[in-house]
Amino acid sequence: MEDLIDVRDPEEGVTNGTNGSTNQYGEFYNPTRQQLKRLVLSYLCHQCYTSTAEVFAKSKDIQTRLEEAARRRQKTDGDGDAVMGNGTETPESTPSLSKETLATIAIRKEIIDCLLNGKIEEARQLVNRHFPSVLNTSLSNSSINHSDSSTSTSATGLMLSASNPPMADNNSCRVSLKPEHLNLNLRIQTFIESVRTKPLSPSSSTETSSPNSCSGSPPRTLTPNPKKALALAQQLYMEVSAIESSKDRNDYMQEVNNVGGLMAYKVPEQSPIAAYLSMKRREAVAEQINSAIMASMGDPPISHLQRYVEHNTVLWSMLDELSVTTPPPSSTPPGVVLPSTASAGHLQSNKGPQAISPGFELSRFLAT
């Protein structure tokens, strides 16, 4: 029987891997291979890497294979004959993802592909059909958690403006997941797509697009409809003017004013506010909607692995900025290996040169 992996909380039940108890260095001090596998699998599922997640869920590392071989040897006698077990031993099951999980991932992937290819209304229809609570403004004040309470959120959600172009690394934990903000951001993106004159290259969220995906070859040329764009802009102004929160209303009014400026240029892609027409903007919208969908299902809006990377990036950057030296190996907990300090600077002290804590890079960390 297959063991269906629960990818919703990879930290649940994390212990030191020996006697089932935690220790002074934290819950993830010495996690088991299965716990680490769940951590990676939850990231793959969150990012809609469906094929990779399926293969990874069924894979076995070398240590697991050796342990299975050892158990098989223990079940044979000296003549090589199989020894009957006592009925309590069971072979290690092959983990897999449930059909429901895979189906949900496929839907989220299709929504993301629609957004990445500028098909905003198609994406909205898919969200309303499969995840109706995400854009339902009547549920804004219900018990559904529409934002990550650990951080402050932006009213416009995307933190984009004429003077603040899209960030290269969108942190979904810092954007609003409220339905009214999501709806407005989708409408703003719809307006942006209506004034586009140069198509972006087709894009897919992950791996190979599904047959029903919104991805595909865009037209070679785009001819904006000024009347349609003007109607969309007027509708946006009406909706923003009706926002009850004065802060949100002011933020969105500034955003709409900036975006509306695209209509003043014959080729807006060559304007000072061309950042609104970039792929990064589409990616920001897609990431925000995906995070909202995850939250609506009771899952974290960002994966645990992404949160750990963000935390360590800030932590190690501050240590590097403050020229904090790395502790000697003798003072680090058993089994802990610090990232390579080969590229880090050094400080002179009465104990000789000491390596400064390097900035955090995931690839370098994984290589240690």
3-state secondary structure the chain: CCEECCCCCCCCCCCCCCCCCCCCCCCCCCCCHHHHHHHHHHHHHHCCCHHHHHHHHHCCCHHHHHHHHHHHHHCECCCCCECCCCCCCCCCCCEECCHHHHHHHHHHHHHHHHHHCCCHHHHHHHHHHHCCCCCCHHHCCCCCCCCCCCCCCECCCCCCCCCCCCCCCCCHHHECCCHHHHHHHHHHHHHHHHCCCCCCCCCCCCCCCCCCCCCCCCCCCCCCCHHHHHHHHHHHHHHHHCCCCHHHHHHHHHHHHHHHHHHHCCCHHHCCCHHHHCHHHHHHHHHHHHHHHHHHCCCCCCCHHHHHHHHHHHHHHHHHHCCCECCCHHHCCCCCCCCCCCCCCEEEECCEEEEECCCCCHHHHHCC
pLDDT in tens, 284-296: 999 999 999 999 9
pLDDT in tens, 155-165: 454 544 333 43
Which residue, among 314, 303, 336, 331, has the nearest Cα to 29 in the 3D structure? 336
What is the per-residue pLDDT for 89? 40
**pLDDT beyond 90 at 232:** yes
Q: For the residues 152-175, what does the mean pLDDT come to?
A: 43
What is the per-residue pLDDT for 269? 94
pLDDT band at 346 (very low <50, low <70, confident <90, very high): very low
Q: For the residues 17-29, what does the mean pLDDT come to?
A: 47
Q: For the residues 182-207, what does the mean pLDDT come to?
A: 87
**pLDDT beyond 60 at 80:** no
User: Cα-flanking dihedrals φ and ψ of residue 68, to 5°?
Assistant: -65, -40
pLDDT band at 192 (very low <50, low <70, confident <90, very high): very high
* Between 231 and 61, residue with greater pLDDT: 231
What is the per-residue pLDDT for 208? 54
pLDDT band at 237 (very low <50, low <70, confident <90, very high): very high
What is the per-residue pLDDT for 309? 84
Structure tokens at 26: 């934290």
CB atoms within 10 A of CB 259: 22
* Between 241 and 367, residue with greater pLDDT: 241
Tokens 């061309």 locate to: 274
Percentage above 70 pLDDT, the chain: 59
pLDDT band at 212 (very low <50, low <70, confident <90, very high): low
For helices 246-260 and 179-194, give the axis angle rounded to 10 degrees.
10
Tokens 């099951």 locate to: 93
* Between 125 and 359, residue with greater pLDDT: 125
What is the per-residue pLDDT for 184? 95
CA angle 182-187-192, nearest 5°?
A: 125
CA distances to 29, 137, 163, 261, 316 from 319, rounded to whole Å, are: 21, 43, 30, 42, 5
CA angle 261-263-265, nearest 5°?
A: 90
**pLDDT beyond 50 at 258:** yes
Choose the most confident range, by mean pLDDT, from 60-64, 144-148, 275-279.
Answer: 275-279
What is the per-residue pLDDT for 63? 63
What is the per-residue pLDDT for 2? 42
**pLDDT beyond 50 at 19:** no
**pLDDT beyond 50 at 18:** no
Mean pLDDT of the chain: 74
* Between 18 and 246, residue with greater pLDDT: 246
What is the per-residue pLDDT for 266? 94
